Homo-oligomer: A and B are copies of this chain.
Amino acid sequence: MADKDNAVVEIAKRARIASYQLAQLNREVKDKALISMAQALIANSDKITKANQVDVEKAKSTGTDAAIVDRLTLNTERIKEVSQGLLDIAKLPDPIGEVIRGWVQPNGLEIEQKRVPMGVIGMIYEARPNVTVDAAGLCLKSGNAALLRGSSSAKNTNESLVEVMRNSLKESGVDIDAIQLVPSDTHESVKQLMSARGFVDLLIPRGGASLINSIVNDSLVPVIETGVGNCHVYIDKDADIEMAVSILVNSKASRVSVCNAAETFLVHQDIAPNFLPKALAALKDKQVTIHGDEKIKQYCEKAAISFEPVTDEDWAAEYYSLDIAAGIVDSMEEAIQHIRKWSSNHTEAIVSDSMTSIDKFVAQVDSAAVMVNASTRFTDGGEFGFGAEIGISNQKLHARGPMGLVEMTSTKYIVRGKGHIRGKVGERNK
Give Cα A180 to B422, complex, Å. 35
Docked CA distance A202–B396 (Å):
8
- Annotate A260-277 by CB proximity to B: 1 below 8 A, 0 otherwise: 000000000000000000
Residues on the B chain within 8 Å of A116, using CB: 366
Least CB separation from A16: chain B residue: B340
User: Could you tell me the distance between the alpha carbons of A53 and B51 in the complex, rounded to whole angstroms?
Assistant: 74
| Total number of A residues with any Cβ neighbor in B under 8 Å | 74
Closest residue of chain B to A370, judged by CB?
A: B414
Instruction: Decide yes or no whether A90 CB sits under 8 A from chain B.
Output: no
Query: Which residues of chain B come closer than 8 Å to A217, judged between CB atoms?
Result: 220
Point out the residues of chain B lying under 8 angstroms from A118, CB to CB.
Answer: 396-397
Q: Which residues of chain B come closer than 8 Å to A368, judged between CB atoms?
A: 412-413
> In the complex, what's the smallest C-beta–C-beta distance from A398 to chain B, in angstroms?
4
Are B418 and A373 in contact, with the CB atoms below 8 A? yes
Complex CA distance for A53 and B224, rounded to whole angstroms = 45
**8 Å CB contact of A222 from B395, B413, B428:** B395
The answer to whether A247 and B367 have CB atoms under 8 Å apart is no
Let me know if B202 and A412 touch, CB within 8 A. no
Copy tally for this chain in the complex stands at 2
Question: Which single member of B216, B380, B414, B422 contacts A220 (CB below 8 Å)?
Answer: B216
**Does any Cβ of B come within 8 Å of A298's Cβ?**
no
Contact with B along A235-247 (1 / 0, CB 8 A): 0000010110011
Assembly CA distance A130 to B38 (angstroms):
57
A122 at the interface (CB under 8 A from B): no
Closest to A342 in B: B1
Contact A421 B254 (CB under 8 A): yes
A325 to chain B, nearest CB (A): 17
A384 neighbours in B (Cβ, 8 Å) = 105, 111, 413
Against B, the Cβ 8 Å flags (1 = close, 0 = not) of A399-430 are 01110000000111111111111111100100
Does A369 contact B422, Cβ atoms closer than 8 Å?
no
Chain B residue at minimal CB-CB distance from A422: B377
A413: which of B24, B246, B401 is its contact (CB, 8 Å)? Answer: B401
Max chain B Cβ within 10 angstroms of own Cβ: one of A23, A217, A246, A422: A422
Q: Which residues of B contact A119 (CB under 8 A)?
A: 366, 396
Q: How far is the CB of A428 from chain B (nearest CB, A)?
A: 7
C-alpha gap A98/B116 in the complex (Å)? 23
| A246 cross-chain contacts in B, Cβ below 8 A | 419, 421
**With an 8 A cutoff between CB atoms, is A375 at the interface?**
yes
> Which chain B residues border A367 with CB–CB below 8 Å?
412
Query: Given that A412-B370, A414-B362 are contacting pairs, would A378 and B24 also be in contact in the complex, using a CB cutoff of 8 Å?
Result: no
Known: A119-B396, A366-B412, A412-B400. Contact between A247 and B421, CB under 8 A?
Answer: yes
5 interchain residue pairs of minimum CB distance:
A374-B417, A250-B421, A396-B410, A398-B398, A243-B419
Q: Beyond the given A105-B384, A224-B397, A402-B413, could you list 14 further A-B residue pairs with CB under 8 A, ordered by the A residue number?
A: A109-B378, A109-B383, A113-B401, A119-B396, A242-B419, A246-B421, A254-B422, A371-B417, A372-B414, A372-B416, A374-B420, A377-B422, A397-B410, A401-B412
